[in-house]
A = this chain, B = another copy of it.
């Protein structure tokens, strides 16, 4: 992709306020978006997350009441709820090491140094700090999701204005080991969304960027 195309895509995107409820993301495109979520980088590769996509109208309606009635939840094509693993425990590290050994066809023992680093890192975090770390990883996924949506000409609306504990109840996450962290409605902008026409506002380059 050229730099010009990239900047065009990132300038084209905006937090979509009104989706065209009739337009659905194709299976092929959606599969790519799911694949891009799977490929999201994370600290140590641990992927302390789960991504739940809701297309069921009834469930979307249930979520709406706990989303400050933002209509994007029901009008979007695919509603993604991004969850952090909680708690993350030492056994999760072992599961991850098993996975690496399996995919790369190496002995678990050859990963001992890496294992030690991860266990050492985790041992220094209490439960709250571990959850905070896991949520950071989920936000990497949100950033990657919005960027990849933009380059695929898919609209998105990131949503922090949700009530996570209520989402957890509706999505049967309570005591599941995952907690709702943030959401992102995906689909196609409505021709009536006046926000699509507004100039994008960012601080000047020099206000947010420094070079040393």
Q: Which residues of A line the B interface, CB within 8 A? A: 1, 3-7, 9-11, 13, 15, 28-29, 31-32, 34-41, 43, 45, 47, 49-56, 59, 99-100, 103-104, 132, 135-137, 139-148, 151-152, 158, 160, 171, 182, 198-203, 205, 208-212
Contact = CB atoms under 8 A, between A and B. Distances in A.
Contacts of A3: 28-29, 31-32, 152
A51 to B, nearest CB: 5
A52 B141 CA distance: 22
Contacts of A142: 139-140, 143
A212 B59 contact: yes
| Overall SS of chain A's interface | helix
Given A36-B6, A135-B136, A201-B100, A209 B146 contact: no
A51 B200 CA distance: 20
A67 to B, nearest CB: 14
B34 A6 contact: no
B5 A103 contact: no
Given A28-B3, A142-B143, A38 B209 contact: yes
A100 B144 CA distance: 26
Nearest to A146: B41
B52 A212 contact: yes
B100 A6 contact: no
A39 B7 contact: yes
Contact of A50 (B45, B199, B200, B209): B209
A113 to B, nearest CB: 13
B53 A41 contact: no
Contact of A36 (B10, B47, B59, B203): B10
Q: Which 3 A-B pairs have the closest CB atoms?
A: A143-B143, A3-B32, A139-B139
Nearest to A171: B212
